[in-house]
Amino acid sequence: MPVQQLFLKIQATDTSDKSCFIVFLKMKTYVLLLVQFITCVTMAQTHNPSREIKFLALGDSYTIGESVAEDQRWPMQLTSALKKKGISAAPPDIIATTGWRTDDLKRAIVAASPAKDYNLVSLLIGVNNQYQGKTASSYAPEFEELLNMTIAFAGGDKSKVFVVSIPDYGYTPFGKEKQQIISKAIDEFNAVNKSIAEKYGVKYFNITDISRRGFEDPALVAPDGLHPSGKMYGVWVDLMIDRLL
């Protein structure tokens, strides 16, 4: 029964007795307070600025930020972007080195033995498998094993994990002459990591299309003529930030 009808019924039943009306007002007040309480709790659970983000970034030269300043690495830019959104974020922990393949990253992770309490973990790996002549089929099981390790570092919570696609270095001065060959191979490797990410229900960010703007905007490429610049990493972060909140 609508509230207005209930109110009218109470009035019509006994206009001389105010007790029913007082009870109605009290009940209405309690209901409103309950609704406000539930709303506040829900908002606190979905967006809690006081909860500090503890971020672990796993990868290779693209994650360590070869040829850019430390504050221009994309994991650093991501934590800065989170802070601008009012979210507390510690400096990221990074396990990444230029030249690493999937097997190199696995060995480094085992040696580092990270904690399993991170609430944000990323994985970007594979370009050196491709560059060093490894096949996409051999990459697949190694990437899947790394993704399982990545999920473990987030305490098993897949919602806290994300995969970043491999950039296309064919759109740099270094790879320009073999752009078509490189791009085709990068697409094959990315098809693998995207399929595995989807299999596990993990967020996937396609930054490859951004990397393919390197010819039209040379400022997206670092001075070494091969790696992304801080500007490109910033565009990656713009793509990621809203889906990570």
SS3 of 227, please?
Answer: coil
At residue 66's C-alpha, the angle toward residues 65 and 67, to 5°, is 110
Q: Are 78 and 55 in contact (CB under 8 A)?
A: yes
Helix axes 179-199, 136-153, angle to 10 degrees: 40
What pTM was computed for the model?
Answer: 0.81
Distance CA 133, CA 124 (A): 18
pLDDT at 33: 53
pLDDT at 42: 43
73 and 164 housed in the same domain: yes
36 and 98 housed in the same domain: no
135 and 182 housed in the same domain: yes
pLDDT at 51: 76
137 and 167 housed in the same domain: yes
42 and 59 housed in the same domain: no
34 and 64 housed in the same domain: no
pLDDT at 28: 55
Q: What residue numbers bound the domain in which 31 lies?
A: 3-46
SS (H, E, C) 36-95: HHHHHHHHHHHCCCCCCECEEEEECHHHHCCCCCHHHCHHHHHHHHHHHCCCCECCCEEE
Distance CA 122, CA 154 (A): 10
Digits of tens for pLDDT over the chain (245 positions)? 544 444 444 344 454 555 544 544 455 555 455 545 444 444 444 444 457 999 999 999 999 999 999 999 999 999 999 999 999 999 999 999 999 999 999 999 999 999 999 999 999 999 999 999 999 999 999 999 999 999 999 999 999 999 999 999 999 999 999 999 999 999 999 999 999 999 999 999 999 999 999 999 999 999 999 999 999 999 999 999 999 98
CATH value at residue 185: 3.40.50.1110
18 and 111 housed in the same domain: no
85 and 18 housed in the same domain: no
pLDDT at 219: 98
212 and 148 housed in the same domain: yes
Residues 6+ apart with CB under 8 A from 203: 159, 161, 162, 163, 197, 243, 244
112 and 158 housed in the same domain: yes
Domain total for the chain? 2
